[in-house]
Amino acid sequence: MVFRPIQWMSHAVFGLRNRAFQLLALYSPGADSLRVWLHRWRGVHIGTNAWIGTDSILETEYPYLISIGNCASIGIRCVIIGHFRGMAATRLGEISVRIEDYAFIGPGSIVLPNVTIGRGAVVMAGSVVTKSVAPMTMVQGNPAKPVARCGIPMGGGTLKEFYRKLKPIREPEAEQVP
Amino acid sequence: MPQTANDIKSMLVSTYAKSFAARHIDPSQVDDRFDLFTGGIIDSLGIMEMIAMVEESIGRQIDFDEMEADDLTRIGPFCRFVASKAAEEQVA
């Protein structure tokens, strides 16, 4: 293997900048401003009016694998993982975790690689998302399973308005989008 | 199957008996406007579980859109609303 100093340097600079911004973003103020900008500067694709809670980790090594839609919310202490060691090589432009518009990821949730969290979907606190979540669906648990269909996105009204329009899912219906 | 608002209230009170006891609240003394959510008896997941439980008990899905959002977790209005829906089902 040939050592290419310029390539190595550019990789090192990208890596250092990425890690520095991730560290700053963990505890910086501004869940809908500074913290969002820091993650954008790292390379995370983030739409408008997104909200990112304190101490959230958005893919440490390849931030460009994460896409967060408009008005999406990432709760505090969420971990969003875009790749595992040993996974196929990733390239700029590929998306591993796609969080669509108005999706809500509850505090302490973990999102694993290669999933899409649909528009307006809700991941309840502490869940582990291993498969894609259909739009306007609430999932909960480890592994996260659908528990309800949402009538409106969380944040589209008051909390009680959201719950009023929620339709619990009976066990046999509880299937996720593959 | 619970028939009246009082039946439904009894079902909720017995289901959440431990939560009432933990907060030193006597369920027989709670006001009609007592809010189970802000009162700490149920959490956000509990709202959904409560809805699923009453729907299962009356054997049908309920559309809560006709209800005031603020009344969703208030024990009196919630029980009366569910009882009215159960009565509609029986008439149909």
B72/A158 CB distance under 8 A:
no
Tell me the domains of chain B and their CATH numbers: 5-91 (1.10.1200.10)
Q: Smallest CA–CA separation between A167 and chain B, in Å?
A: 8
Residue to mutate among B64, B68, B71, with most A CBs inside 10 A, is B64
Say yes or no to pLDDT of A173 above 60. no
Q: Are A107 and A55 in contact (CB under 8 A)?
A: no
**Tell me: the pLDDT tens digits for A23-68?**
999 999 999 999 999 999 999 999 999 999 999 999 988 899 999 9
Domain range summary for chain A, segments of one domain joined by +: 5-170
For the segment(s) A5-170, the CATH number from 3.90.230.10, 2.160.10.10, 2.60.120.260, 3.90.1150.10 is: 2.160.10.10
A163/B45 CB distance under 8 A:
no
Tokens of B82: 């569910």
Question: Does the ipTM exceed 0.85?
Answer: no
| pLDDT level of residue A129 (50, 70, 90 thresholds) | very high
